[in-house]
Structure 1
Amino acid sequence: MTAENVCPPAFLAFAHEIADAAATVIRPYFRQRLEIAAKADSSPVTVADRLAEMTMRRMIEKCFPGHGVRGEEFGTSNAEAEWVWVLDPIDGTKSFASGSLAFGIQIALLHQDAPVLGIIDQPITNERWVGQRTSPTLFNGVPVRTSDTARLKDAIVYTSALEQFNLDARERFSRLAAGARFTRMSHDCYAAGLLALGSVDLLVESNVFDYDILPQIPIIEGAGGIVTDWEGRPLTDASQYETVLMAANETLHAEALARLKQGQIPRPRGLPLTVTTA
């Protein structure tokens, strides 16, 4: 065990504090009639997103002024710091704004650009996943494990937003979905939590941002899962977030990769993409 693999206890305790603070900000806005604005990339944002991130950023700046912060809503400060907090105040804003529970607060702590801590918090149901390098993932304080589903035909596959896939990625994903037990959409970070619990077997994403995924990596890996791009490479470069594959175990990961890799296992002409949305 090396120093770069360990999140100091004080930083872990602080991560819980900022997650609690963000949850307190968000709860009063849930299932209220909110103005939904559009950001430059046309993605939605609400006052709850912005206030939650602002609250967390101010706490970090006060308690750890030497740390960097990278947030979805307010960008990056002190990017070259040894320790950098990555904040996604509401991952799943579309779900939040429409009254669905399929959203969460996401927090990652990077040490020298590597994620050593990840938190997913569902502030309405009071569910919290915590992942750390070298430690088992905890769900509300209890260790959890990914599933032992080894065959794609038995696997439950989730993806957040099929409309974000380009034509090539959609074709590749359709090969995977055609061989799976069933597929569902629109759970964002909550799907990663379900994967860590063993309820979901594969999570496949395309055209996402690092702040969407970085908090999930320690959680999935700490529960026994695997996180790579669609070529099987660890996520170490910003360009790799065009394709992300999270799998419950190595055997299932290998079969999923075979379906997703470019040019393998051609999809029969006319084969429909089966995606369950209800």
Structure 2
Amino acid sequence: MQKKKIISNYLSLANYVADTIAIEIKKNYKHLNIKLSKKCSSYQVVTDLDFKIEKIVRKLISFKFPDHNIVGEELGSIDKNSEYTWIIDPIDGTKAFISSIPVFTFLLSLKYKNDYLLGLVDQPILNERFWNYNNKAYLNNKVIKVRKFTNISSSIVAITDPVMFKNYNLLNKKLFNKFSFIRWGTDALGYMRCAEGIIDAVIERDIKIWDIAAIIPIIKASGGIITTWDNKPPGTNDTVIACNDKKMHKILVNTLQNYL
């Protein structure tokens, strides 16, 4: 009971933070004066709003829990030598945000030691907020679950960008063309579609911890599986498989582990 109460307090803060950030995102959505710059990766970009949002989130967390660690995509780490670490991705899917395509999300996670306690994924334009609590996953207060796997040929899989894959053409022959179809450009929202039982899997690489920290507990709470391509805990390398079923997971691992 005590643990549930503690996590409930953290979830309350996460929702308050997400409400605050949703206002900023809605205010800046479809604005053409957003300043844009490229990161070191050829397909990653950042805006001045990414930095502004992360600063707001850090301030809100530090006010409530000044002793907690914070890790963010844009502003690095604050190490307070705490067992608790908040992980922030201010705008996951910045290209989608700039293009006014509402598949971008705000991501916030809380990690206790090596356990991802809490994840929150918010898409304020669609008014969709996902989180986990007490071993269940939610979309706007409704419990969500992954769907049952039937077969590989009827599977729908989400991938953000083919540029992520070093051996895309080979993987397409060995695995990708076996799916019903691939939906490109979904970013973190693709994982949530898996969690709510709309698609079967997400496959990605070149992933950083802030890209998946919020996703990990939500996928698990929805009954899904999330690992690296070689079936290790997510975050131990830059690859990710999230899917609905052990059978689907085995098919994906058997192929993808050969392409690390």
Choose the corresponding residue for 1:245, options 241, 246, 253.
241
- Percent identity between matched residues is 28
Identify which range, 136-145 or 250-259, moves more after superposition.
250-259
Partners of 1:200 and 1:40 in 2: CA distance:
31
CA deviation string 1:158-182 (max 9, x = no partner): 1011102213x66336522111111
**1:79, distance to aligned residue in structure 2 (A):** 5.9
CA deviation vs aligned residue, 1:28-69 (integer Å, no higher than 9, x gap): 111110221223445211122111111110011111100011
Residue aligning to 2:149: 149
Q: Secondary structure in 2 aligned to 1:21?
A: helix
Task: List alignment gaps of at least 5 residues for structure 1.
Answer: 264-278
Q: Which runs of 5+ in 2 are unaligned?
A: none
CA RMSD in angstroms, aligned pairs only:
2.0
How far apart, in 2, do the equivalents of 1:211 and 1:235 lie? Answer: 12
Does residue 1:125 correspond to 2:126, yes or no? Answer: yes
Contact between 2:224 and 2:243, CA under 8 Å: does it hold in 1?
Answer: yes
State the partner residue of 1:161. Answer: 161
CA–CA distance in structure 1, aligned partners of residues 230 and 82 of structure 2: 30
Task: Report the equivalent of 2:252.
Answer: 256
Matched, 1:196 2:213: no
Cα distance change on mapping 1:170 and 1:129 into 2, 3 Å? farther
CA contact (8 A) 1:68 1:84 kept: yes
Evaluate the alpha carbon distance shift between residue 41 and residue 14 of structure 1 in structure 2; reply closer, same or farther with a 3 A threshold.
same
**One-letter amino acid of the counterpart of residue 29, structure 1:** N
Is the 8 Å Cα contact of residues 147 and 197 (structure 2) preserved in structure 1? Answer: yes
Structure-2 change in CA distance of 1:174 and 1:246 (3 Å) = farther
Aligned match of 1:109: 110
Inter-CA distance 185–174: structure 2 relative to 1 (3 Å threshold): farther
Structure 2 letter corresponding to 1:150: T
The separation in 1 between residues aligned to 2:14 and 2:76, in whole angstroms, is 19
User: Aligned letter for 2:129?
Assistant: R
Report the equivalent of 1:17.
Answer: 16
Contact 1:137-1:222 at 8 Å conserved across structures: yes
Worse overlay, 197-206 or 172-181? 172-181
Aligned to 2:35: 35
TM-score after normalising by structure 2 = 0.92
Report the TM-score when normalising by structure 1.
0.87
Shift of the alpha carbon at 1:117? 0.5
Contact 2:155 2:181 in 1 (8 A): yes
Q: How many residue pairs were aligned?
A: 257
Aligned to 2:233: 234
Shift of 1:12: 1.0
CA deviation digits over 1:94-131, x for unaligned, max 9? 00001101110001100013211001100111100002
Q: Answer whether contact 2:203 2:242 (CA < 8 A) is retained.
A: yes
Indicate the residue corresponding to 1:92 in structure 2: 93
